[in-house]
A and B are shown apart, each in its own frame.
Chain A
Amino acid sequence: MTQGMSKTPLLMVDHLTVEFAGRAGWGGFGARTRPAFRAVDDVSFRIDPGETLGLVGESGSGKTTVGRALVSLIRPTTGHITVAGKDISNLTRDDRQALPRAVQMVFQDPYGSLNPRFSVERTLAEVLSFHKIVPQVEIAAEVRRLMDTVGLPASLAASQPRQLSGGQRQRVGLARALAVRPSVLVLDEPVAALDMSIQAQVLNLLRELRATLGLTMLFIAHELGVVRYVSDRVAVMYRGAIMEIGTSSEIFLTPQHPYTRSLLAAMPRLVPEKRSRPPVLSTEVESGTGQGCRFRSRCPLAAPVCATEPAVVKLSSTHFASCHFAA
């Protein structure tokens, strides 16, 4: 989806498609390969400097695959990813190592992404020295500064991941990503594994860092409230494609795509009243690859016209939806 060119975007994702090769069946002899699975299907968006784009969707929507393509953990099948004018979508291994600062990722489970034997201090020092971010003599001071930035008390410098709480580990993950001073930070479900009271701490920290460091972020999450809290704009994905993209208020206050509306309506409200309403959607996600709109088998508005792929409808200079009925 193309949008008004007000500023030079820092990150451009241009017709990104990611396919996973079909797995071979059991038994090599006569084994057939299944058709390739298209996890991301012609996705385009941009993020301006200092902006946070939220990426929401249910499991299988392709949101994590988009994030992994941005940090070169997955190679795009077709399409381009440009950071600050440089195409990073088809880098060789050597190119990638020379370009550590472009995009950094913070993962959902800080436990799985930290070396269990490294102290906080060593985790951060390794990154700083490997990428030669600061001279060797300044590393200790830089570690302290990073810990301070993410709100980790200096007393935890010698602690190993297992000695930290979930919230503290996620702060270490964030500090490690910030250590290389990336242009863009990709956060994949950064608070999903955390307790409610700790979620709020980390979300507030992200908002603070966005304001003080001018961070540019892609914030991937399934929880709509959380996405709204930190995002300037939001993209809603369904089965590999963006259904709707707009400013936070456009998506949350005046959603136009029936899928976005369903997601919002399905969210439990904080109103203490026993529910008697039927479910918003009565069916589950289908895995087939039919023609036309990919939401139509579940869509309350589905009509014969939906058998053709809907065009992207421009609703405002920032608001776009892929639906025959968006207007």
Chain B
Amino acid sequence: MSGYLLEVEDLSVAFASRDGTVLANDGVSLNLRPGETLGIVGESGSGKSVLCRAILGLAKGRVTARRIAFDGRNIDDMPPAERRKLRGSGIAMVFQSPMSSLDPVWTIGDQLVETVRLHQAISRRQARVAAAALLDRVGIASSVRRLDDYPHQWSGGMLQRAVIALALAGNPRLILADEPTTALDVTIQDQILALLMSLQRETGMAMIMVSHDLGVIAETVDRVAVMYAGRIVETADVRDLFQAPRHPYTAGLFASIVAGSGQDKMLTPIAGQPPDLQRLPAGCAFAPRCPRVRAECHLSVPRIDSTVARANACLFPLDDPLAVDRRQ
């Protein structure tokens, strides 16, 4: 046994377009241990949402992978019924917009009851009790009364709590949270992050936290994978990554965010425009924007070693100041 809860090896997701094939994910590999939280950072079009959907078997494009395994079992080998069961009771997903997971014409209670009964063979009456208990767990006050509310009666923060309750219904061992707080105000984001973290402590479930916000990543994850143009370009323990990013793209991200430093420090944006997946350069996709680019970078796509804890897909990564110390 590998000891991993989730193993993804060499995953690619291809979409057909007028100008040929577009690779939304290109050779993505990652592992996740039980209870661990992996952060996936990237900008729009980097492939982070497609990756989540592909893990759940919901990606629209053509998915190929050497292996996608959950709890040691290859998902591709599972019969469809078992795969369906895996969604929800093994892996659950929380999306950015709560309304993409909720049906506006059903009450919150109806939707919870239906989901609970998908996972457990119990009566409607018992499922209603379970549904109220789920709302309690996600911090909705007077949960029994609120079961009969419709989604439009709830605020965005409450709806995201309801979606988390739906995700918890099958007691999942892994939650995929795709920008779960991006649409929320900062004080509500604060509440939802606190909720997710306390649920994780309570249940020991693993989590993949997808976010463009390095602050959210810093507060919630153990390890980080940075994506660019459909590929993972750097992976590291979150502390190591924040202390010394090695891939020039990661370093560029840190230099372009407004930290608490205020006005004194000028931001150093990454030059140029985000990559067009239909027209990726032959070599490193970041090369056209990279301050460290050399001729070799244009020759072939640098690959990342997914078997080590700290790795990057760069021929000329930034030096780690600590590495020098260690050598001495």
Contact = CB atoms under 8 A, between A and B. Distances in A.
A304 interface: no
A270 B259 contact: yes
B218 A280 contact: no
Interface stretch (B90-98, B129-137, B261-269): B261-269
* B interface majority secondary structure: helix
A274 B155 CA distance: 27
B118 interface: no
Contacts of B201: 276
**B213, B242, B259, B263: which has the most chain A beta carbons within 10 Å?**
B263
A273 B193 CA distance: 13
A200 B270 CA distance: 8
A281 B270 CA distance: 35
Contacts of A271: 218-219, 242
A280 B194 CA distance: 10
Contacts of A168: 273
A272 B269 contact: no
Contacts of A204: 266-267, 269
A197 B187 contact: no
B197 A276 contact: yes
Contacts of A224: 186
A277 B241 CA distance: 23
A269 B215 contact: yes
Nearest to B222: A274
B287 to A, nearest CB: 15
Contact of B267 (A203, A272, A279): A203
A270 B260 contact: yes
Interface residues of A, number: 46
A197 B43 contact: yes
B187 A274 contact: no
Given A196-B257, A226-B258, A282 B216 contact: no
B194 A277 contact: yes
A285 B270 CA distance: 37
A224 B257 CA distance: 12
A59 B186 CA distance: 10
A178 B263 CA distance: 24
B203 interface: no
A267 B181 CA distance: 12
Given A225-B258, A268-B216, A195 B44 contact: yes
A280 B301 CA distance: 45
A252 interface: yes
Interface residues of B, number: 50
B128 interface: no
A276 B199 CA distance: 11
Contact of B263 (A228, A270, A278): A228
Contact of B274 (A165, A200, A228, A277): A165
A197 B241 contact: no
A229 B263 contact: yes
Interface string A249-287: 100100000000011001111111111111111101100
A268 B219 contact: yes
A212 to B, nearest CB: 15
A42 interface: no
A65 interface: no
B281 interface: no
A59 B266 CA distance: 29
Contact of B218 (A195, A200, A270): A270
A196 B37 CA distance: 23
A119 interface: no
A142 interface: no
Interface in B202-230: 212-216, 218-222
A219 to B, nearest CB: 13
A67 interface: no
A167 interface: yes
Given A200-B268, A222-B186, 17 more contacts: A196-B43, A196-B212, A196-B257, A197-B270, A199-B256, A207-B266, A223-B258, A225-B260, A226-B258, A229-B262, A229-B263, A262-B187, A267-B186, A271-B242, A274-B220, A275-B219, A282-B191
Interface of A: 58-59, 165, 167-168, 195-201, 203-204, 207, 222-226, 228-229, 248-249, 252, 262-263, 266-282, 284-285
Closest 3 CB pairs of A and B: A268-B215, A200-B256, A200-B269
Interface of B: 37, 43-44, 155-158, 185-191, 193-194, 197, 201, 212-216, 218-222, 238-239, 241-243, 252-253, 255-260, 262-263, 266-270, 273-274
20 contacts: A195-B212, A196-B256, A197-B43, A200-B256, A200-B269, A207-B266, A228-B263, A248-B262, A267-B215, A268-B193, A268-B215, A269-B215, A270-B257, A272-B218, A272-B238, A273-B219, A279-B187, A279-B194, A284-B157, A284-B188
